[in-house]
Amino acid sequence: MTKLPQRFSLESRRVLVTGATGYLGRAMARGLAELGATVLINGRTPERVEEVVADLRGMELAAIPAVFDINDEDAVRQWFAQNGGAPLHGLVNNAYAGGAGSIETAAEDDYRNSYEVSLVSAHRLLQHALPGLRAAVNECGQAAVVNIGSMYGMVSPDQRVYPGKRAANPPFYGAAKAALLQWTRYAACEFGGEGIRVNAISPGPFPSESVQASSPDFVSTLAGKVPMGRIGQAIEIQGPLSFLISDASSFVNGANLVVDGGWTCW
């Protein structure tokens, strides 16, 4: 039996991270790379992807650009046709795009767009990634998919912490993330038997650096709602994600690992 440090190692593993140019995505990619993975950096904008790749390579970490739009079925198919033959040991469905709002202010298309980028894209990517994931299972016994949900897929935002309905965390975001969590459980049951584990992480309050700098009062209010008395920092998503991608979580399947400082425990 391998020792625990070896089971956490991601040496010789290839992991695709979508939305890897964002605040949490960059931290996820770096954490995986620091454990030895070759991280495929996904994003729509070549310049931003190359920036992240260059940063990681500057730290002597392994990173490869994976420039395509996860919402474009043809682009996804083309990328996997060109790059999907090699084993893919991990897939992290992290990308999201959408605005703020409330039931009163949201448009119907907001729900459709949120559902598309959260759930339909995860479905699309898993389908196209299956040959690579199965090749990874044949190579080392397992592969892992991690879907990035949210605490707001579990509980409702407290609209009192926002300056108004148009600035609130929106209903379509939480609804799409709740759907993603259910899809995670379904996928875990469908593919677990062949060695492809599917789990989720639901982050809590992780406001971006720009929000932390521009809205300190809002950040303080968020911190006051967390039992630990503070917001999360991007590096604190690295450990939970690395655990679920690595062999250290070899019997964890269909789980939702909540990383919210206790927010959903109140």
Cβ neighbours around 61 below 10 Å, total? 19
Q: Which of 96, 162, 173, 186 is catalytic?
A: 173
CA distance 14 to 126: 15
Burial label, 229 (beta-carbon count in 10 A; 0-12, 13-18, 19+): exposed
Give the CA diameter of the chain: 56
**Which of the 8 DSSP states describes residue 170?**
P
CA distance 125 to 91: 8
Element (H, E) at 68: none
Element (H, E) at 239: helix 238-245
173 is catalytic: yes
**Which amino acid does the sequence have at 39?**
V
CA distance 170 to 61: 37
CA distance 47 to 21: 10
Residue with tokens 């993330």: 177
Strands (E), the chain: 14-17, 38-43, 63-67, 90-93, 143-148, 196-203, 256-259
CA distance 59 to 56: 5
**Which of the 8 DSSP states describes residue 162?**
S
Q: Which residues are the active-site residues? A: 173
